[in-house]
Structure 1
Amino acid sequence: MIDPDTLQAGLARVSARAGLGVLSGELQRLTGGAVMESWRFTAGGDDFVLRRAPSLAFMEGRPYGHAVEAALIEAARAKGVTAPEVVAVLEEGDGLGSGFVMRALSGTADPKVILACDDPDGLLRQAARDLARIHRLRQADVPEGVPVMDYGAAIADLKAQFMEAGGDRPIIALGLRWLEDNCPLQVEPVLNHGDYRMGNLLVEGSTLTGVLDWEIAHFGDRHEDLAFGRMAVWRFARYDRPALGLGSIEDYIAAYEAEAGVTVDPLRFRFWTIYRTVWWALGCLKMAAQWRSGADRMLERVVISRRTSEQELDLLLLLEEDAPIVERLRHVYPPTRLDHNYGEADVGELASAVLEWLATIKDKLSGHDRFQLAVARNALGMISRESEFLPLPTDSNTAGACLSGVLSLYEIGFLQSLREGVLSKVMVDSPKYPALTVALKKWAPVQEDLD
C-alpha cells in the first residue's frame, strides 16, 4: 500500500493542478475494491475520491489505462448515465502511479445496506434504466482503445487462463466445453459496463446515485451485462432475489426492455450467465497468482482466490440442467467433520485460537483496518475448517477429459461425485454462501448443520 506521506503530497499536487483547492482533513481508505484502491479526501471544502492501481505492474496487460477509463466514464455521464464526474487523471509527476480523481457522490456501495432499502423494486428499475442507457453508447461515442469482444476469442482466452492455472478443475473444464459447444453468433456490439452488479452501484436510501468501477468496460452482447447481475454471488444474502439481489429476473428484464426498446433472448441470457460464472471462477483463481507474483500483496487476493469454489458450485447448478434426469435425481451425502479431539493442537485449532483472539480487537479498529481484520478472520476460518473436512482434490486428467468432451454429465455417477466434491470445498471456503444451502436442499436427503 502507498505510503501516507507520499499519498498526501501527490494529492496536493493533483489538487493544485486541477484547481480543486487546498487539502484538508484526513485521508480515508475506502473498504472493498478487490482490484483498485480508493481513497476519499477533501480539497477546497469539497469531497473527492482517488482511484488508483496498487502498482504500475498491476496495469500491465490491461486493454486500456486509467486515462481511457476516465474518458469513458465522462462519455457515459454525458449520455445520462448516473456516473461520477472525473476531475483529474494522474500524471507521472504526481508520484501516485496510475489512476484518476472523481468528485465524491452521496450514498453507499455496501450491499448489506442497499439490499435492506425501503424500495428495492424501484431501485431495480433505476438500475435497469441506467444499464439500458450504457448500452446506447457506440464506438463513436467513446475514446479509442475500448475493445470489441470476439466471443470465440474470449472463450479461448478463458481456456488459456484455465490451463495456466493448472487445468485441474473438472467443473470449470465442463463449463469451458459447454461454452465452446454453445457459443452464439455475434450481434451488433453495444457498450458493456462489464461489472454491473451490487457492490459497484452507489445508493442513497432507495435512489441510485452512481455507477462505479468501469475498468473492464468493452463492446459486446448486451446480454452479458444483464446476466452478470443475476449471478448468485452478486445477490449476497438475498439469494431469493435473482436480479442484483433486489427483485425478480422478470421485473429486471421488463424494466430494461421498456427503457432499451429491445427484447431479451433467453438462450443468450443463459449462455452469458454460464460464461460469466466461468469468467469469475477463473478471476478468483488467478488472484493467488497475482499475490504470489508480488504485483499486489493485498490480503484480499489470497482470500478471494478461495472463492473459486463458490463459482464451481453455481456453475454445476447451471450445467446440471442439461444432465439426464436419472443423474440429477441421485442424492449425495454432505461430508462429515473429522474428529481431532486428542493430542496436541492441530493447525486448524491453532487458526481457531487466533481467530477467536482477533474477534476481541474488532471494536478497536475502524475503516480499512477493520475491513482487513474481517478478511484475515475469513482466511483463518478457512484454515480451521480445512482440517475438519477432506479437501476437494484437483484432477488434471479428469478435467482434461471434460475439456475434450470425452467425459460429460451423461457419465453414470459423475454428476454425483462432482456434487459431493464441491460441497466439501464450499463448506471449507464459504460455509455461509447462500447457494450452499440451496444446493444441500436440492442434492442431499439430510442437511448438515453448517454453523
Structure 2
Amino acid sequence: MTVLGKTELSSLLSTFMTRVAGPGVLSALDRLSGGANMESWAFDWDAGDSPRAYVLRRAPSADYMEGRPYAHVDEAALVIAAHDAGVKAPEVIGVLGDQDGMGTGYIMRRIIGEVNPAKILAAPPPSLLSDLGRELARIHAVPADRIPAAIPALDIAAELAEYKQRFLDYGGDRPIIALAIKWCEDNLPEPAASVLVHGDYRMGNIMVDENGLAGVLDWELSHLGDPHDDLAYGCMTVWRFGQLDRPAFGVGALEEYFAAYRQAGGAAVDPQRFHFWLIFRTLWWALGCLQMGEAWRSGADATVERVVIGRRTAEQELDLLMLLEGEAPEAERNRALPSSPAAPPKPNGEPATQEIVQAVRDWLRDTIKPGTSGHAKFEVAVAMNALGIVMRDLDANVSAEDKAQTDAILTGAVTLADSGVLAQLRRSALDKCAVDSPKYAALACARNLWGK
C-alpha cells in the first residue's frame, strides 16, 4: 500500500507534473472532503505563465481497486473518450504508473464550479434541467469504438441474480429488500439497445456554475447498458436531497428532463422501463449500504464512514416501499398502521450507556469539531452522526430483520395483497428510518401519507 504523507505526495506529484506539463511549482495541495477509499487532491501548478488548477484522483494501492470492474487506466481512457465526444467530462492530462510511487490514478484539469447538492438545489441555474438531459444524451452517444474494451456490459438478469445472492450472504432477513428483489424478478424487462451508461449520473457528481452544468464527474461505475438506467438513477429519492416535489434530480419535472434528452438526440423514454430502473437502482443502493457494514467487519475499510453508510439501508427500504406499495390492493393501502413497539424505560441513577454516548458526542461537537477543517472536519461530523444513531438505537425498540417473512416473500408465499403485510412493513420502515436517518426528507413525507 502506498501510504503517503502530504509532504511526500507533494514531492512525487511535482515530479510527475514536471514530466507531463513541464517545469513548474506545485502549491495549494489539499485533500477534498469525502472519499474514504478513493482520494481526490486539489492543487495548482504554475509553469511560469499563471497557475492552473488540477485534481489528482488516486487510490493508495491496487488493493483498493479490488472488486472494481476496471482499472484507473481504463477509467481515464473512458473520461478522455467522453471529453473528446463533447461531453463536459474533465480533461485528463496524465495517468499514474508504478514508477510514479503514488498508487493508481490519474490527473485532470480542475473544473471550477459548485458540486454541493444543497447549494445547487437551493437556487439551480434556469438551464440546469435541460443541461442534464442534453449531457446525458451526449454520454449515450459516445461512439462504441472509443469506449475501452474493459468497460463491461450489464446483463440485467445476471445482475439481479447477483444482488439476490449478496442479499442472502448478508443474512437475507430484510423483508422490504426481499419484496424489491421479487418484484424485479417478476418484472424484468427485455434487453435494450446498449449505450454507454455513466452509472452514477446524479447530484453530487455534477458541477454547476452560473451558466448551468459545468462538468460531469466520477466515471468509475460506467458500463454498457440500457439508457433508462442513467435516466432513472439521478431521479432516485436519495439523490434528490430533500427536493421531493421535483422528481427530476431535485431540479424540476420529468417531462422537461425527458424532452431535453430527446431534443439532444436521446431515444424516447419508456415509462415502465423508467419505473423498473428506479426500483432496481434503489435496491442496488440498499444492498450497497449493507455492503458497507460487511466491508467494515472484514477489515477492508475500517473507517467510521462505512458503518454510518451501512445504517442508511433504512432510507432505501422506505423508498422501496413507497415505490412498490401501489402493487397492494386499495384496502391494504388504506389500512391503519399498527403501533410502534414500546420504548425502553428512561434511565435514572448512574449514567446510562446512551447518556455516556451523548456526552462523547457533545464533546466532539463543542470541543473537537470547531478546531478542525477539510477532511478532518468531515470525519468528526461522521463520528458524531454514528454516535447519534447509537443514542437513538438505545432509546428505541426497533428491528428491521424478519427471516421467516423474508423467506416467504422471496418464494411468493407472502405478498402485499395479504392482510396487514403492507401496514406492518410501513411501521417497520418508519421506525427504523427514524433511528438511522431521522432527517431523511422522505421520512416526513411517508409519515404524512401513512400516518404516524
Band the TM-score falls in, shorter-chain normalisation: over 0.9
**Offset, 1:290:** 1.7
Amino acid at match of 1:365: T
Distance 1:293 1:93, change over 3 A: farther
The equivalent of 1:358 in structure 2 is 364
Secondary structure of 2:127's aligned partner: helix
Contact kept in structure 2, 1:132 and 1:259, CA below 8 Å? yes
In structure 2, what is the equivalent of residue 306 of structure 1? 311
1:415 to 394, 408, 422: 422
d(CA) in 2 for partners of 1:326 and 1:3?
Answer: 62
Q: CA deviation at 1:352?
A: 1.4
User: What one-letter code is carried by the residue in structure 1 that aligns with 2:41?
Assistant: W
Shift of 1:35: 4.8
Between the aligned partners of 2:399 and 2:224, the Cα distance in structure 1 is: 37
- Does residue 149 (structure 1) correspond to residue 154 (structure 2)? The answer is yes
Structure 1 CA distance for aligned equivalents of residues 440 and 233 of structure 2: 18
**Partner residue in 1 for 2:392:** 385
Query: Separation in 2 of the partners of 1:5 and 1:139?
Result: 42
CA distance 1:48–1:406, shift in 2 (3 Å): same
Show CA shifts across 1:89-133 (max 9, x none): 1111222212111111101211111112253x4111111110110
What is the percentage of aligned positions where both structures have the same residue? Answer: 48
**Is this contact kept in 2: 1:347–1:383, CA < 8 A?**
no
Aligned to 2:135: 130
- Map Cα deviations across residues 151-187 of structure 1 (whole Å, 9 max, x no partner): 1111111112111211111111111111111001001
SS at match of 1:387: helix
Aligned to 1:102: 108
CA distance in 1, matches of 2:58, 2:76: 12
1:240 is aligned to 2:245 = yes
CA distance in 1, matches of 2:199, 2:105: 19
Q: CA deviation at 1:46?
A: 1.7
Q: Which moved more, 1:48-57 or 1:162-171?
A: 48-57
Query: In structure 2, do the counterparts of structure 1 residues 40 and 394 end up closer, same or farther at CA, with 3 Å as the change threshold?
Result: same
Q: Secondary structure at the match of 2:151?
A: coil
* Residues 1:206 and 1:357: Cα distance change in structure 2 (over 3 Å): farther
Aligned residue for 1:115, secondary structure, equals helix
**Aligned with 2:7 (options 5, 12, 20):** 5
Aligned equivalent of 1:429: 436
Does the C-alpha gap of structure 1 residues 254 and 426 become closer, same or farther in structure 2, counting only changes over 3 Å? same
- Separation in structure 1 between the aligned mates of residue 329 and residue 363 of structure 2, nearest angstrom: 49
Give the partner amino acid of 1:410.
A
1:18 is matched with 20
Task: Report the number of matched residues.
Answer: 444
Identify which of 229, 234, 245 aligns with 1:229. Answer: 234
Query: Which is worse superposed, 359-368 or 270-279?
Result: 359-368
Q: Which residue of 1 aligns with 2:67?
A: 61
Question: Which amino acid in the other structure matches residue 194 of structure 2?
Answer: P
How far has the Cα of 1:329 moved from its partner? 0.7
Q: Do 2:10 and 2:26's aligned partners in 1 also have CA atoms closer than 8 Å?
A: no
Q: Could you tell me which residue of structure 2 aligns to residue 275 of structure 1?
A: 280
Q: Which residue is equivalent to 2:30?
A: 28
User: Any conservation in 1 of the 2:81–2:146 contact (CA below 8 Å)?
Assistant: yes
Give the C-alpha shift of residue 346 in structure 1.
2.2
Q: Is the 8 A contact 1:117 1:206 kept in 2?
A: no
Question: What's the Cα RMSD here?
Answer: 1.7
Q: 1: CA distance between counterparts of 2:291 and 2:73?
A: 25
Q: Cα 1:406–1:112, aligned 2, differ >3 Å: closer, same or farther? A: same
Letter in structure 2 aligned against 1:28: D
